[in-house]
Amino acid sequence: MSNNKDNKNSYLQMFRQMVRIRAFEEQANQLYLSAKMPGLTHMYVGQEAVAVGICEALTPNDKITSTHRGHGHCVAKGADFKQMFCELLGKQEGYCRGKGGSMHIADQANGNLGANAIVGGSAGIATGAALTAKRMGKKEVSVCFFGDGALGQGLLYETMNMAALWKLPVIYACENNLYGEYTKVEEMAAGDLMARAKGFGIQSFEVDGQDVLAVNNLTQELVERARKGDGPFFILLNTYRYHGHHVGDINREYYRSKEEEQLWREERDPITNFSQLLVDKKISTSEELKSIELQIEKDAEEAVNYALNAAWPDASEVNMHVFASN
């Protein structure tokens, strides 16, 4: 690793972004537990290396589409804590003026076309964004994030087929966290997960989704190739969600064991392991990393307080934005 020093900034940036996601989610979970957040939300904790490894290989003009478990993608693509918390609480200053909430958070300025409450629902959107990029001669790529559960959706296969036929610059990023809701992936997906996209002639890669460097290196390579017209690509990222399916899914031993959860948390945590690497390779020190963490936790707390005190949307908003103006 001779380029460690050159990479110090980008490594610390990845560390920071993963810590930001975790800090955001811890606050979001607290908001739910203290009954301050309307509705339910799905925690991204445990999967940080996936969103960060991928989004750090993108520019703000590159597009992503996200899922119901979308806070991580949104933070990783550059979103601001305050506007995100405002959205989660349904406040006027939120990214979607409080109209979308957790499951529809979008950040147009940073190329996030939105979370999606329909499993697999954004496969067409990401592929369509790639069609725009190609047609308009922009060198942008789009990344479609989806969970293992979305492998059950036909839309995904229709769009992958077209993306392959038309050589579109899109990367299908399948986050395999082993479960879709309360069911194991092997009970929902027959055969070889990797063979699906390959069937369309799409080059497919499998990577450890807990290793942010591995994810980032692979994505950088694929993004570069996609910009040259070499896409589409499929990546299977093996990962794990630490929390329940949603914040209310507390008693979950009937579908996965405490031991399994503990194993992932203790041995495969993407932040702990990356911190260790940064210290071992003398890229950073534990003191430096600790102070970054503390600062981010403080930022998150401030943003939450800001959002709690922010204004509700005005009643007149309710029938605004049904149609775009001409």
Partner 1 sequence: MREITFGAAVNEAMAEEMRLDESIIILGEDVAEAGTPFKVLSGLVEEFGTERVIDTPISEPGFTGIAVGAAMTGLRPIVDLMFGDFLFLIMDQLCNQAAKTHYMSGGKLSVPMVLRTNMGATRRSAAQHSQSLQALVAHIPGLKVAMPSSAYEAKGLMKTAIRDNNPVVIFEDKLMYNDKAEVPEEEYLINFGEANILRSGTDITLIATSSMVQQAEMAANTLADQNISAEVIDPRTISPLDETTLINSVKKTSHAIVIDEGHQNYGITAEIAARISEKAFYYLDAPVQRLGAMDVPVPFSPVLEDLTVPTAQQIHERVVMVLEGKI
Ligand X SMILES: Cc1ncc(C[n+]2csc(CCOP(=O)(O)OP(=O)(O)O)c2C)c(N)n1
> Which residue ranges make up the site for Mg ion (CB under 5 A)?
147-149, 177, 180
Phi and psi of 24, rounded to 5°? Answer: -60, -50
Identified binder of ligand X from the candidate list 94, 114, 149, 232, rule CB under 6 A: 149
Q: Which residue, 100 or 111, is less far from partner 1 as judged by CB?
A: 100
Q: Which has the closest alpha carbon to 57: 224, 206, 275?
A: 224
Q: Judged by CB under 8 A, does residue 192 bind partner 1?
A: no
Q: Judged by CB under 8 A, does residue 244 bind partner 1?
A: no
CB 115: neighbour CB atoms within 10 A?
28
Identified binder of ligand X from the candidate list 4, 158, 181, 230, rule CB under 6 A: 181
Q: Draw the binding track, 103-142, toward ligand X (x: CB under 6 A; -: no contact).
A: --------------xxx-----------------------
Residue list 255-274, contact with partner 1 (CB under 8 A)? 255
Q: Which residue, 186 or 302, is less far from partner 1 as judged by CB?
A: 186
Q: Judged by CB under 6 A, does residue 150 bind ligand X?
A: yes
DSSP annotation of 63: E
- ∠ CA 223-228-234, rounded to 5°: 40
Q: Judged by CB under 8 A, does residue 153 bind partner 1?
A: yes
Phi and psi of 258, rounded to 5°? Answer: -60, -35
Q: Which has the closest alpha carbon to 236: 294, 192, 272?
A: 192
Q: Which residue, 30 or 92, is less far from partner 1 as judged by CB?
A: 92
Size of site (CB under 6 A) for ligand X: 14
| Helix%, strand%, coil% for the chain, nearest 5 | 50, 10, 40
DSSP annotation of 258: H
Q: Judged by CB under 8 A, does residue 189 bind partner 1?
A: yes
Q: Which has the closest alpha carbon to 218: 201, 205, 232, 227?
A: 205
Q: Judged by CB under 6 A, does residue 294 bind ligand X?
A: no
By the criterion CB under 6 A, which residues form the site for ligand X? 68-69, 117-119, 147-150, 177, 179-181, 245
